[in-house]
Structure 1
């Protein structure tokens, strides 16, 4: 009898890099990153043989690849600290490939099993990241699509676009329906083209912060490779 090789887990990074001056959402300030304690200055404390760096970051919570909790749209909703790890880590997930589509309607999801899963929407809009084009005429979900995802039991919805809603107006019905029904959102994702359609797990864990509704995450997928 021969033993088959064991399955291994491939980890796929789905997050953008955050750097000084990055504009994630037009109109919001870019992060400012600098040394609070530089390595050179640390010599005055620790001597020449032991140097450290302590960084200082000033930024809005909607920076980079970030997660929206219900508190983002409802003062009585769960904030980051109130979210259970079961909602943020090791979620069964499915990829919905709508590459190069702009308006993503309910028919896109019909027949897809989303119950209890993270639903990641691959639009390929992340190709425009860190450019002026990223902010204009971006891919988005319709209100009807959001209602369908809620009705069919999705736990989290992620997208590799500037916003899960159409930002040409003031209304945000997708945020309203998803977050209002405790369905989390991850926006500004990337690298979704590397994922299979199903059979992977999703992780997007923010810090445990009270009174904040959004924050950057290191989103990634765990894919079983035979």
Structure 2
């Protein structure tokens, strides 16, 4: 079974306050293509302009560090076909603490934090008082060599007034990929699945949207 874990990208959507929404356009319409191809043969070639942090996206170390691995250099084994674990935060949790992970063998795994906050996606409530990962928990995961950490919330860090972004700093500094704005984590078992979230190989960029999904036997 394949489980979809990404939000759809739509024209003008808001993923994060202050980040411009994507603009979808057309390079070649089906009507115009009639003048290029044989009768009865039509094509559509679209265009899109978007900020890299749009929809469900992956952060690489380059997002935080100028000498970190970018989208083109981060190995596939850090973001695709990873053994997955889901941890479940209690309802209305703001700070996801280290106690949620204790006792788990997270080394080499994609650890996905299910908060249920994705239910507010595309609403104003999504942008305020969202769940995030405690700095101590980020350090705990990094020290135990987790491969990837994902969350179904606005940000893996608390957003304003805190500006330090400690979870990004610790995890990306340890070479751990991050996936934010996941959805549908409630459809996954706690373990026993494979997680995939690979973006294009773009040189000099640190983040990009992904089609995140899980394969459940």
Question: TM-score with structure 2 length normalisation?
Answer: 0.97
Tell me which residue corresponds to 2:204.
Answer: 211
Q: Deviations over 1:30-87 (max 9, x none)?
A: 0000111111111121254111000010001000100000000001000000011111
Aligned match for 2:54, one of 59, 63, 74: 63
**Which stretches of structure 1, 4 residues or longer, exceed 3 Å deviation after superposition?**
none
Residue 45 (structure 2) pairs with residue 54 (structure 1): yes
Tell me which residue corresponds to 1:223.
Answer: 216
Unaligned residue ranges in structure 2 (runs of 5+): none
Aligned match for 2:126, one of 134, 154, 167: 134
Q: Secondary structure of 1:178's match?
A: helix
Tell me which residue corresponds to 1:190.
Answer: 183
Shift of 1:219: 0.5
Residue 93 (structure 2) pairs with residue 80 (structure 1): no
Tell me which residue corresponds to 1:105.
Answer: 97
Tell me which residue corresponds to 2:148.
Answer: 156
- Matches of 1:184 and 1:163, distance apart in 2: 14
Aligned match for 1:123, one of 115, 126, 131: 115
- Matches of 2:16 and 2:156, distance apart in 1: 12
Contact between 1:99 and 1:122, CA under 8 Å: does it hold in 2? no
Larger Rg: 1
How many residue pairs get matched? Answer: 215
- Matches of 1:79 and 1:115, distance apart in 2: 22
Contact between 1:70 and 1:182, CA under 8 Å: does it hold in 2? yes
- Matches of 1:60 and 1:51, distance apart in 2: 30
Q: Deviations over 1:87-134 (max 9, x none)?
A: 121101100011422210111111122111000000000000011111
Quote the RMSD (CA, aligned, Å): 0.9
Question: TM-score with structure 1 length normalisation?
Answer: 0.93
Aligned match for 1:90, one of 77, 81, 86: 81
Matches within 5 A, 1:15-54: 15-54=6-45
Contact between 2:78 and 2:176, CA under 8 Å: does it hold in 1? no
- Matches of 1:57 and 1:75, distance apart in 2: 26
Unaligned residue ranges in structure 1 (runs of 5+): 1-9
- Matches of 1:212 and 1:86, distance apart in 2: 19
Contact between 1:99 and 1:124, CA under 8 Å: does it hold in 2? no
- Matches of 1:97 and 1:147, distance apart in 2: 19
Residue 192 (structure 2) pairs with residue 199 (structure 1): yes
